[in-house]
């Protein structure tokens, strides 16, 4: 799920605690108010923060593919990535490869696309146009057809279930982890450093201990536990929500290290899923704030409240999405450019075949 | 009840004046309202005192036209250069593709959709918002706290990740994050200074934030435009806009959410509201973003002022809802009590929006012609000169006199503007979010709402 979704969910979970809500609204009774409910949100976004702001920079890769921005060789790049896969195939060990972006100047980057073709078991690299930092392509800046596509056929077979081409242009490139599964097929792990140690309930528990201790020293032992508990629950709700996607997490790291798969209900970036959860979090927070207010503003039963404020509006939203929503998946501009380049390559190949046949 | 024709004429005057005035970079309706009110003090015939709604109609016309028209200076005259990477809005991207006119009209259509939203939500404002305010009122500080935490936590590293050691990788990637945190912290500190130690002449009152905001956002952008030597390509003026109902809906929804958040939450601007709503709806399309910005701005500026017209009788304590500088500036003059006043003012809103939309097209066209004739850098220098002169003479305009005292005050506000400009340049040079600068207002409000204001002021030695 998106960062905001985890953040809102963490705050919503924190709002279920009467003492926390009372402390947050303490100014009503003449005292200074607490920010304890923010702690749920803070720890809700913490696992991804640890990954993207810290963890990724400590991860080592066996292969680093850093193409020459002035004269990129797609064949060399495909071979570099392919060799990493072959090494994993031969050694039965996980091999990681880091791809880097091609920076041409302060505001210019060379875009390329990486595709793992499950049908032909090939690594395909397509070099696209030069793009600005705003990802606007400069028309006509793509390399000549002969220097545009690189292919490498791997030794084994890919096991690709939900792969999408990766477009690399500005700022950073992806890291892949390759390993052979029990069926002898090659698995591709996208961002192998993501959702591993940082997405563990055990780590969440461990991280909530200092929160409990510090809060207890400042606010007293009788209430410090609540800070620790809210931090833990905020952290945990993130991990649980992530299980709805494809990637899952290493939920019991360091005791069980491999990353389990998610339920694959929807993509983490699905706008409708994210919006529904954000909206639900707001509705829940309002319900709890009213419930714990000295004089509640409304006295609807929970059933009626959630029916009128959550279920019916979301049903309306999804009805609109169903009727007017996009049919099919929208492709990135870089992927479309890649498909055009590959189609052109195929046409040229066919044309050469015909020419050879005529001769 | 006032003569409706008179109210309408004042609304029209505000709209037309704003329609041309807000094309000039960094003229804000709040600052202009300060000048107008000061002028009213000298020339009492400006607004009939027995018909206070005329004053409100005039300013409502101005607020609506600002919401729609300020696209022009920000998109055509202050376009940040490409090096300002993630802060370059897709609107500027359109501009660099020669489609600035289309982007401006998209925001204009968004503005009209924002007005439609305000009409649609009028029953909500009347019946649900006062009740919601009772529930949320005591919790405003931590809601602002949540926004602050999210603003800081949701900025991600932008380094390429290249480096032989983990330290080099981490250092490169964290450069923008450190810059963002530094901008946020320094802006918050500056906010405390501004709110607790008046550094502008007392007579400027609410206009005290003028030099700060002008420095943080306008001057820094203009300096960046001058340094970057950006060349603006030929702008194509299209006869039609490529827009379907799906895109409109997708832009409308986040825009309405962002604008409503900003209109209701103190210290939260349309930009921050738009950022959060954009994340909530997870929309990535540029057209959607440009349109949602148009919706968000109008819902924020107009909605904020419109909340003031919800009859005070609808609120339990009869205090009404004052959000934004305009409502605070004008509240001493009148307290709306009748339902008819709300609808009267809403009529002005609709009229102003329609006229402003037409003016947006007209103004965009002549600005595009100007950009084609005058080199962009020269235009940026001219804009910078206008901004500096305007800020310098603001105390004189408010006092209605040019003398030694107002000149000295002018120097004071220029100094404040210089400091805030330095702050505003950090995000541009280090590629972090410019919304971090908004800590100047959101942090002091949050802290004082939580009740920690006085101890912190004492701790900082500002008491």
Residue A106 lies in a domain: yes
Whether residues A175 and A250 fall in one domain: no
Q: What percent of chain A has pLDDT over 90?
A: 62
Q: Which of A165, A190, A215 is at the close of a domain?
A: A190
The two beta strands, A122-132 and A108-117, are antiparallel
Residue A126 lies in a domain: yes
φ, ψ at A312 (rounded to 5°): -65, -45
Chain B residues with beta carbon closer than 8 angstroms to that of A58: 166, 170
Give the residue, B161 or B226, on which the prediction is more confident.
B226
> How close is the nearest chain B Cα to the Cα of A157, in Å?
30
Q: What is the ipTM of this complex?
A: 0.88
- pLDDT of amino acid B79: 42
pLDDT in tens, A48-64: 999 999 998 898 899 99
Q: Which CA distances in Å does B454 have to A24, A153, B461?
A: 18, 69, 10
B279 → closest Cβ in A4, A106, A297: A4
Mean pLDDT of A188-200: 91
Q: Can you give the residue range of the structural domain that contains B300?
A: 4-459
Whether residues A260 and A290 fall in one domain: yes
Would you say the C-alpha torsion A16, A22, A24, A25 has a positive or negative sign? positive
B160, B227, B432, B433: best to mutate for the A interface, most A CBs within 10 A: B160
- Asked whether the beta carbons of B54 and B8 are under 8 A apart, the reply is no
Cβ contact, residue pair A45, B177, below 8 Å: no
> How close is the nearest chain A Cα to the Cα of B19, in Å?
31
Residue A307 lies in a domain: no
Q: Which of A190, A213, A228 is at the close of a domain?
A: A190
Whether residues A105 and A8 fall in one domain: no
Q: Is the pLDDT of residue A5 over 80?
A: yes
DSSP character at residue A187: E
Whether residues A38 and A67 fall in one domain: no
Chain A residues with beta carbon closer than 8 angstroms to that of B93: 134, 136
CA distance B274 to B259: 7
Mean confidence (pLDDT) of chain A: 89
Cβ contact, residue pair A136, B97, below 8 Å: yes
Cβ contact, residue pair A98, B173, below 8 Å: no
If we measure between CA atoms, which residue out of A116, A190, A188, A124 comes closest to residue A151?
A124
Mean pLDDT of B306-315: 80
- pLDDT of amino acid B84: 32
CA within 13 Å, CB half, A327:
2
Non-local (6+) Cβ contacts of B259 within 8 A are B114, B117, B270, B273, B274, B295, B296, B297, B298, B299, B300, B303
Highest mean pLDDT among A325-329, A354-358, B453-457: B453-457
- Banded pLDDT at A320 (limits 50, 70, 90): confident
Whether residues A177 and A94 fall in one domain: yes
Cβ contact, residue pair B450, A31, below 8 Å: no
Whether residues A248 and A202 fall in one domain: yes
Angle between the N-to-C axes of helices A271-291 and A312-324, in degrees from 0 to 180, rounded to the nearest 10? 170
- pLDDT of amino acid A354: 64
> How close is the nearest chain A Cα to the Cα of B15, in Å?
35
Whether residues A269 and A215 fall in one domain: yes
CA-nearest residue of chain B to A323?
B246
Would you say the C-alpha torsion B323, B325, B327, B328 has a positive or negative sign? positive
- pLDDT of amino acid B140: 93
CA-nearest residue of chain A to B135?
A290
pLDDT in tens, B48-61: 877 888 989 999 99
Which residue, chain included where needed, has tokens 């709209």? B15
Residue A329 lies in a domain: no
> How close is the nearest chain A Cα to the Cα of B143, in Å?
8
Highest mean pLDDT among A107-111, A183-187, B183-187, B401-405: B183-187
Whether residues A14 and A89 fall in one domain: no
- pLDDT of amino acid B80: 41
- pLDDT of amino acid B89: 60
- pLDDT of amino acid A162: 55
Two tokens, residue B52: 């206070």
Residue A358 lies in a domain: no
Q: Can you give the residue range of the structural domain that contains A160?
A: 63-190
For chain B, helix (H) and strand (E) counts, in that order, are 21, 0
A107 → closest Cβ in B83, B136, B173: B83
- pLDDT of amino acid B156: 86
Chain B residues with beta carbon closer than 8 angstroms to that of A134: 82, 85, 88, 90, 92-93, 96
Whether residues A294 and A234 fall in one domain: yes
Non-local (6+) Cβ contacts of B249 within 8 A are A320, A324
Cβ contact, residue pair B246, A326, below 8 Å: yes
The total domain count for chain B is 1
- Banded pLDDT at A164 (limits 50, 70, 90): confident
Q: Is the pLDDT of residue B81 over 50?
A: no
Whether residues A67 and A186 fall in one domain: yes
Whether residues A15 and A67 fall in one domain: no
The two beta strands, A175-180 and A95-99, are antiparallel
Whether residues A41 and A67 fall in one domain: no
Non-local (6+) Cβ contacts of A70 within 8 A are A104
pLDDT in tens, B205-255: 666 788 888 888 888 888 887 887 767 788 889 888 888 888 888 889 889
Residue-by-residue DSSP string for B260-278: HHHHHSTT--HHHHHHHHH
φ, ψ at A97 (rounded to 5°): -130, 130
Cβ contact, residue pair A7, B283, below 8 Å: no
Residue A140 lies in a domain: yes
Which residue, chain included where needed, has tokens 């820094």? B220
Q: Is the pLDDT of residue A230 over 50?
A: yes
- Banded pLDDT at A32 (limits 50, 70, 90): low
Q: Is the pLDDT of residue A213 over 70?
A: yes
A297 → closest Cβ in B93, B135, B279: B135
Cβ contact, residue pair A134, B92, below 8 Å: yes
- pLDDT of amino acid B2: 56
Chain A residues with beta carbon closer than 8 angstroms to that of B134: 297
Residue A113 lies in a domain: yes
- pLDDT of amino acid A279: 95
The total domain count for chain A is 2
**Least confident window among A121-130, B6-15, B259-268, B390-399:** B390-399
Q: Which of A190, A212, A240 is at the close of a domain?
A: A190
- Banded pLDDT at B82 (limits 50, 70, 90): very low
pLDDT in tens, B180-208: 999 999 999 999 888 887 777 766 666 67
**Least confident window among A25-29, B15-19, B396-400, B411-415:** A25-29
**Least confident window among A165-169, A339-343, B290-294, B401-405:** A339-343
Strand locations in A47-104 (E): 63-65, 95-99, 102-103
Mean pLDDT of B358-385: 90
Residue A304 lies in a domain: no
DSSP character at residue A127: E
Which residue, chain included where needed, has tokens 């954000």? A278
CA-nearest residue of chain A to B148?
A38
Mean pLDDT of B5-20: 93
- Banded pLDDT at B160 (limits 50, 70, 90): confident
Which residue, chain included where needed, has tokens 């020669």? B98
Q: Is the pLDDT of residue A359 over 70?
A: no
């Amino acid at each position: 799920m998106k960062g905001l979704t985890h953040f809102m969910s963490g705050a919503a979970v924190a709002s279920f605690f009467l003492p926390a809500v009372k402390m947050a609204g303490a100014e009503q009774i003449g005292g200074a108010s607490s920010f304890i409910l923010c702690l749920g949100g803070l720890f809700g976004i913490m696992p991804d923060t640890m990954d993207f702001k810290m963890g990724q920079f400590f991860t080592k890769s066996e292969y680093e593919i850093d193409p020459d921005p002035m004269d990129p060789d797609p064949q060399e790049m495909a071979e570099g990535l392919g060799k990493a896969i072959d090494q994993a195939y031969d050694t039965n060990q996980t091999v990681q490869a880091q791809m880097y972006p091609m920076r041409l100047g302060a505001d210019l980057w060379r875009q390329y696309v990486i595709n793992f073709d499950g049908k032909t078991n090939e690594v395909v690299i397509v070099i696209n146009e030069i793009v600005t930092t705003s990802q606007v392509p400069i028309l006509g800046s793509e390399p000549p057809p002969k220097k545009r596509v690189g292919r490498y056929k791997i030794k084994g077979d890919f096991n690709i279930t939900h792969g999408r081409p990766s477009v690399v242009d500005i700022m950073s490139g992806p890291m892949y982890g390759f390993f052979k599964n029990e069926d002898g097929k090659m698995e591709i792990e996208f961002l192998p450093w993501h959702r591993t140690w940082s997405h563990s309930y055990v780590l969440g528990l461990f991280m909530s201990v200092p929160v409990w201790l510090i809060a207890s020293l400042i606010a007293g032992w009788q209430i410090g536990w609540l800070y620790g508990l809210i931090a833990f629950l905020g952290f945990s709700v993130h991990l649980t929500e992530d299980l709805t996607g494809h990637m899952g997490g290493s939920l019991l790291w360091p005791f069980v290290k491999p990353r389990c798969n998610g339920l694959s209900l929807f993509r983490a970036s699905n706008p409708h899923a994210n919006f529904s959860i954000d909206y639900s979090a707001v509705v829940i927070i309002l319900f709890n704030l009213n419930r714990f207010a000295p004089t509640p503003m409304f006295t609807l039963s929970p059933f009626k409240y959630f029916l009128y404020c959550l279920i019916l509006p979301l049903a309306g939203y999804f009805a609109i999405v169903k009727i007017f929503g996009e049919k099919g998946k929208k492709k990135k501009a870089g992927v479309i450019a890649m498909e055009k380049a590959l189609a052109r390559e195929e046409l040229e190949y066919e044309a050469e075949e015909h020419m050879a046949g005529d001769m | 009840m006032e003569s409706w024709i008179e109210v309408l004429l004042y609304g029209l005057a505000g709209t037309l004046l704003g329609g041309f005035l807000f094309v000039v970079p960094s003229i804000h309706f709040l600052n202009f309202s300060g000048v107008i009110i000061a002028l009213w003090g000298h020339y009492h015939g400006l607004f009939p005192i027995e018909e206070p709604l005329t004053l409100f109609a005039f300013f409502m016309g101005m607020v609506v036209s600002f919401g729609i028209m300020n696209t022009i200076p920000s998109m055509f005259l202050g376009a940040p250069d490409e090096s300002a990477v993630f802060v370059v809005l897709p609107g500027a991207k359109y501009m660099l593709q020669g489609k600035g006119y289309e982007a401006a009209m998209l925001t204009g259509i968004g503005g009209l959709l924002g007005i439609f939203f305000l009409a649609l939500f009028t029953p909500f404002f009347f019946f649900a918002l006062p009740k919601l305010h009772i529930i949320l009122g005591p919790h405003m500080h931590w809601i602002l706290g949540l926004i602050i935490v999210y603003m800081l936590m949701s900025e991600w590293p932008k380094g390429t990740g290249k480096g032989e050691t983990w330290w080099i990788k981490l250092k490169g990637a964290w450069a923008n994050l450190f810059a963002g945190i530094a901008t946020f912290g320094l802006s918050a500190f500056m906010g405390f200074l501004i709110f607790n130690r008046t550094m502008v002449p007392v007579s400027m009152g609410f206009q005290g934030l003028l030099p700060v905001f002008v420095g943080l956002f306008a001057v820094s952008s203009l300096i960046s435009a001058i340094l970057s030597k950006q060349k603006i390509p030929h702008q194509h003026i299209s006869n039609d806009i490529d827009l379907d109902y799906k895109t409109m809906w997708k832009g409308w929804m986040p825009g309405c959410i962002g604008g409503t958040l900003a209109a209701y939450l103190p210290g939260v601007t349309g930009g921050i509201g738009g950022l959060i709503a954009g994340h909530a709806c997870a929309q990535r399309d540029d057209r959607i973003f440009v349109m949602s910005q148009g919706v968000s701005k109008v819902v924020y500026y107009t909605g904020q002022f419109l909340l003031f017209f919800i009859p005070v009788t609808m609120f339990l304590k009869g205090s009404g809802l004052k959000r934004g500088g305009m409502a605070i500036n004008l509240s001493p003059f009148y307290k709306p009590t009748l339902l008819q006043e709300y609808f009267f003012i809403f009529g002005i809103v609709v009229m102003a929006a329609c006229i402003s939309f037409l003016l947006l097209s007209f103004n965009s066209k002549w600005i595009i012609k100007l950009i084609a004739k005058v080199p962009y850098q020269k235009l940026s220098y001219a804009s910078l000169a206008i901004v500096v002169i305007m800020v310098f003479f603001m105390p004189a305009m408010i006092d209605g006199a040019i003398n030694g005292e107002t000149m000295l005050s002018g120097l004071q506000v220029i100094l404040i503007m210089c400091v805030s400009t330095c702050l505003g340049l950090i995000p541009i040079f280090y590629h972090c979010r410019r919304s971090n600068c908004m800590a100047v207002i959101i942090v002091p409000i949050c802290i004082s709402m939580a009740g920690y204001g006085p101890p912190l002021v004492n701790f900082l030695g500002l008491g």
